[in-house]
Amino acid sequence: MELKSFAAFVGIDVSKDKLDLCVLPGGECLQFTNDLPGRGKLVAHLESLPTCLIVIEATGGYERAALLAIQDADLAITLVNPRQTRDFAKALGQYAKTDRLDAAVLAEFAQRVQPTPQAKIPEKQRLLDALLTRRRQLVEQHSAEECRLQQATDKFISKTVRQMLQTIERQTDAIERRIAELLQSDDDWRAKLQIVQSIPGIGPITGAALIAELPELGKLNRQQIAALAGVAPYPCDSGRVRGKRSVWGGRKKLRSVLYMAALTARRCNPVIKEFAARLARAGKAFKTIQVACIRKLLVILNTMLKNNSPWKHLPA
């Protein structure tokens, strides 16, 4: 859809219970409940508008149901980072913050910036993302229970913690089996997974995370793919001053997965191992080396998928 074809611009501010909507031009403001009936009314109202571009903020998951409902109606919507829109509001001189004002800021952001609408998320992609999110939650719970076990002094409490750990481990195993079955059920995913897992340092869960959270892998250039993961260095220069390069932004959940994959690759992947050693000999700090290894690993993966070439076909 051409950006110039939009006749209306909509901002939706999301909270646990409410969805505040603002439409430009005109400034119409409405509120809907953030439940199934409310989202139905929201979509019906959006469909009654002229061709519109909708902007919605990421709010810890409360926005997901509304986002998917709007995508299912084939409406143009994009999910934006709250920091980006908050900076936009400050640039406009808007420091007050209410749900209604936030919706208005999002509508103006849609009108002035016109961010690219997101592609509709397929049903299988949604399920894979949900499974990976649940696995991540279970891993965090397991770590918390292990800490409690170390601190427990009462035998009964220790027993209950061990039982909880066993339950979490069983659920994690079941989730991982479901993830594997889902990946094998799709020909495209199965082919991508074989290529991704051929590189030393990438296991089944990391491969699944790359497929679910970085579907652009193999379709963009190296700079774009690094920026999406938040490992692209940005300059901070002014006049004759050359500032320190730093990384920021990107997809945090994906970066956490890649961090652990890069640690493994530094031990068992000859290319990454030599690359890290060369940076260490140059006196680079551990964190700098780690980010550089993540970026190199990501660039290699991007090239492999772009060329449909497994690791063994690449030069060492």
Last residue of a domain, one of 131, 158, 185: 185
Angle at 42 between CA 113 and CA 59, to 5 degrees: 55
**Residue 128, CA distances (Å) to 5, 60, 251 in order:** 33, 18, 17
Residue 150: give the domain boundaries.
123-185
- DSSP for 238-259, written as a single string: ETTEEPPPB---S-HHHHHHHH
* Helix, coil or strand: residue 17: coil
**Residue 75, CA distances (Å) to 7, 21, 135, 271, 297 in order:** 13, 15, 31, 45, 36
- DSSP for 30-90, written as a single string: EEEESSHHHHHHHHHHHHHSSSEEEEEE--TTTTHHHHHHHHHTT-EEEEE-HHHHHHHHH
Do 215 and 284 lie in a common domain? yes
Do 108 and 128 lie in a common domain? no
Q: To which H or E segment does residue 308 belong?
A: none
CA 222 to chain centre: 18
Do 107 and 133 lie in a common domain? no
- In a domain? residue 178: yes
Q: To which H or E segment does residue 291 belong?
A: helix 286-306
Query: Which of 255, 124, 256, 252 lies closest to 178, judged by CA?
Result: 124
Do 154 and 215 lie in a common domain? no
Residue 297 makes CB contacts below 8 A (sequence gap 6+) with 199, 201, 258, 261, 262, 265, 269, 272
Alpha carbon dihedral 161, 163, 168, 169, in 10-degree steps, equals: 120
Listed as ranges, residues in the chain with pLDDT below 50 are 1-3, 313-316
Q: What is the CATH number of the domain that holds 181?
A: 1.20.58
Pairing of strands 52-57, 76-80: parallel
Do 305 and 231 lie in a common domain? yes
Do 10 and 81 lie in a common domain? yes
Measured in degrees and rounded to the nearest 5, phi and psi for residue 287 equal: -65, -40
Model confidence, pTM: 0.75
- In a domain? residue 194: no
Q: What is the 3-state secondary structure (H, E, C) of 188-218?
A: HHHHHHHHHCCCCCCCHHHHHHHHHHCCCCC
Residue 262 CA neighbour count, 13 Å, CB half? 24
Do 181 and 214 lie in a common domain? no
Measured in degrees and rounded to the nearest 5, phi and psi for residue 166 equal: -65, -40
- In a domain? residue 292: yes
DSSP 119: P
Give CA–CA dist 293/273, Å, rounded. Answer: 9
Give CA–CA dist 25/3, Å, rounded. Answer: 16
Domain tally, the chain: 3
Do 208 and 292 lie in a common domain? yes
Beta bridge partners of 30: 21
Do 17 and 91 lie in a common domain? yes
* Helix, coil or strand: residue 234: strand
